[in-house]
Amino acid sequence: MMIFRVRAVLLASGAAIALASPSPAETSAADGDQQGEIVVTAQKREERLIDVPQSVSVLTPQALEAVHAERFADYFTRLPSANIVEDQAGQTRLILRGINTGGVGATVATYVDETPYGSATSLANGAILTPDIDPFDLKRVEVLRGPQGTLYGANSLGGLVKYVTVAPSTDAIHFAGEAGVESVDHGSTGWSGRAALNLPVGDAIAIRGSGFYRHDPGYIDDPKLGSDVNDGKTYGGRVSLLVKPTDRLTLRGTAFLENIRSNGSNTIDVDAVTLTPIVGRLAHSRTVAEPNNVDYRIYNATAAYDLGSVNLISSSSWGTLDQAAIQDASGLYGPLLTDAFGQPLGALVNQGVLQRRFTEEVRLASSGKRRFEWTVGGFYTRERNAIDQTLDAIDGNSGSRVDAFSPLATAGEHSKYHELAAFANATFHFTRQFDLTVGGRYSHNRQNDVSTSGGALVGGDSQVTGHSRDHVFTYAIAPAFKPNDHLTIYARIARGYQPGGPNALPPAAPNAVPREFAPSTTLNYEVGVKSELIDRLLSIELTGFWIDWKDIQLLADVGGFGVNTNGGKARSKGVELSATLTPLAGLSLAANGAYIDAHLTEDAPALVGGLDGDPLPYNPHWSGTLSADYMHAIGSRADAAFGVSWRYTGRRRSDFDASIGQHPLGAFGQLYAHAGVSFDRFRIDAFVRNLTDSRGITNVGALGSAPNGAIAAAVVRPRSFGLTVGVRY
């Protein structure tokens, strides 16, 4: 594996109320039954949320709308034990229950309806290339905490994020639209537009289409490149066709695209020891611009056939991801090049990432509510990935490429991944009060990897191949006691895994660097209580968990090149709480939070850093959200709504680093408020994010990520004010 590692986040190869525990009043009929129950598909069958024997958060359309959600940062961290690491649009790492070591393989899996999206292998930067999908026109977002290896397979070590889109409907024409504007303090102004249309074509065919365009404001200045250099745009859409040839057969085809065009990172230059700003509170210094362009594509065809007591489902998917990014590497290579060639020089890394993934899943499931409910299925995925990087010399003053010295080095990582799996899940309803859910999955994968390198800095051209095979069995066991329809007490043991793979290394690589890394597994022990009290005016979910993590996968830096390796063990244990209270008509109060202790239980390899007892990166011990929302009728046709929420992120540690260790990061809080009016089919809403203009740090780079001995640190968006206008028909 011969890939440059420059900044820690550019890893190499290799509302507010319903966000925690939705109240019935906030849920439309599309999301539940006629009594307002929340219905989810966490176990690949429709169930009441309160009946699912595991910890699940549901983000309803109303919740996403209330917080004006446009990206992960707007809603994900409001959930218990959820955190993100991000330094630029299109480069986001999701963390659930503290399961993170800064490696390049994802520890949280992502699904869009029936499609697993993103790379399953640790050879394609899957950890930070999480699809940050615009949440407009979704039926809900389900966030499943804890390993989900039985039903969802690879990379669900810490949990799963599942986007459930709105299916076309033959009942009537529906339309929704929204326009908004947002201005960021110390930065620029952005705007957005969204629209969706459902169109029936007879009694058996319907089409639904949606589109969005967003100009993201910038707020990071650069003395050389100008103001607000981290602005950008995001645009895309979805079209879905539903056909019902018979009452028993349903066919659905969906195509989705999203393009992210980011012009720069959200980082500032800070002192490598104290983390105090060097260039300015919201400024960094770069020799060249650092754009990051990411394109998502998902194509899916799903067929469902009702065989009476059994349903047959087939899902075929094709997903692609393309990234083109430039990163200023002058802080790492500039001094070396300037001394070697006697003139002021810098360097840049030009990186392209390609992911191509085909998946097929076929499953049979019992239908209806029965004493014995079951699902069995088979899964196949084929994946092709490529990372190509070029290190070029640039003029230290102008930033222009110096052809005489370029390319200084090239590196490529081309890999193939094949996986075949079989799974089964069953629920036994022994009595009206006692259930037992058990499941298992056997997965086998094989991988091939070709690593190439060239240029004077890496000792000339080389090409090395690597191969690996591994297999794993994951399982889940969850007994549940339900004294009544409004109380569930459950326990759960579940195993998750992350595939291993080859390290294709050049001949000059040290012998200590492993040529293959093993699969990583988590074993989760969990107990929880879900309850609805006082005629469902109060809902509470309390969960305690203990996760043992074996053969953790880590990213090591060897002579400026990234390789995957296994560490020893880690442990995450904690408590999660979600509560919602509706004391008065129109008033909702909510609180959610978590305490997590996630740390190494064995020393990590010396190449990585990290000792027994060191905390896992970017995992706050304490985090939580408090919120209040009030809606009041104005006359007979209008409603006024007000809301406020506060999100707290506790103290954390940065990534493991063998040279400078982990940086301690301070706690910070963010205050959000909104007020609006809705009448008939229209609504208008004003909002403010980060009202107190908090300066929290969300990611810290390695040495060389900024010039002159500084390092790059990503910061939260400053205070911003916005206004949205919407219509729904």
Span 238-293, pLDDT tens digits: 999 999 999 999 999 999 999 999 999 999 999 999 999 999 999 999 999 999 99
Residue 384's Cβ-count burial label (10 Å; 0-12, 13-18, 19+) is: middle
Q: Please, how many CA atoms are within 13 Å of residue 174, restricted to the half-sphere of its CB? A: 16
Q: Nearest 5°: phi and psi at 41?
A: -120, 35
The angle subtended at Cα 113 by Cα 10 and Cα 529, nearest 5°, is 90
Question: Is 9 a residue whose pLDDT tops 60?
Answer: no
Residues 467-488 have a mean pLDDT of 95
d(CA 97, CA 596): 7
Q: Which of 494-508, 666-680, 709-723 is least confident? A: 494-508
Q: Is residue 330 over pLDDT 60?
A: yes
Q: What average pLDDT does the structure give for the chain?
A: 91
Single-letter residue type at 61: P
pLDDT of residue 568: 84
Euclidean distance between CA atoms 347 and 340, whole angstroms: 13
- Regarding predicted confidence, which is higher, 250 or 336? 250
> Token pair for residue 419?
């996986």
Structure tokens at 562: 């990234």
pLDDT at 235 over 50: yes
Could you tell me the pLDDT band of residue 506, with boundaries at 50, 70 and 90?
low
Q: In the chain, helix, strand, coil percent, each to 5?
A: 5, 55, 35
Across 248-344, the runs of DSSP E, i.e. the strands, are: 249-262, 267-270, 292-306, 310-328
Instruction: Output the pLDDT for position 556.
Output: 79
| Residue spans per domain, the chain | 3-728
Average pLDDT over residues 519-524: 96
Q: Tens digits of per-residue pLDDT, 602-624?
A: 998 877 888 999 999 999 999 99
Q: Domain 3-728 carries which CATH code?
A: 2.40.170.20
Q: What is the pLDDT of residues 648-663, one digit of tens each?
A: 999 999 999 887 889 9
Please report the pLDDT score of residue 462 as a whole number: 84
Q: What is the structure's pLDDT at 22? A: 35
Across the range 2-30, mean pLDDT stands at 35
Q: Quick one: pLDDT at residue 404? A: 87
Report the pLDDT value the prediction gives residue 456, as an integer from 0 to 100: 81
pLDDT, tens digit (0-9, with 9 covering 90-100), for 542-592? 999 999 999 999 887 766 667 788 888 999 999 999 999 999 999 999 999
CB neighbourhood size of 266 (10 A): 25
| Residue 644 banded pLDDT, cuts 50, 70, 90 | very high
pLDDT of residue 559: 60
- pLDDT-derived band of residue 5, with 50, 70 and 90 as boundaries? very low
Question: Which pairing describes strands 249-262 and 697-700: parallel, antiparallel, or unpaired?
Answer: unpaired
Inform me whether the pLDDT recorded for 25 exceeds 80.
no
Closest to 471 (Cα-Cα) out of 149, 151, 160, 159: 149
Q: Rounded to 5 degrees, what angle do the CA atoms 25, 96, 142 make?
A: 35
Q: How far apart are CA 375 and CA 360, in angstroms?
A: 16
> What are 207's two structure tokens?
């089409």
Name the pLDDT band for 508 (thresholds 50, 70, 90).
Answer: low
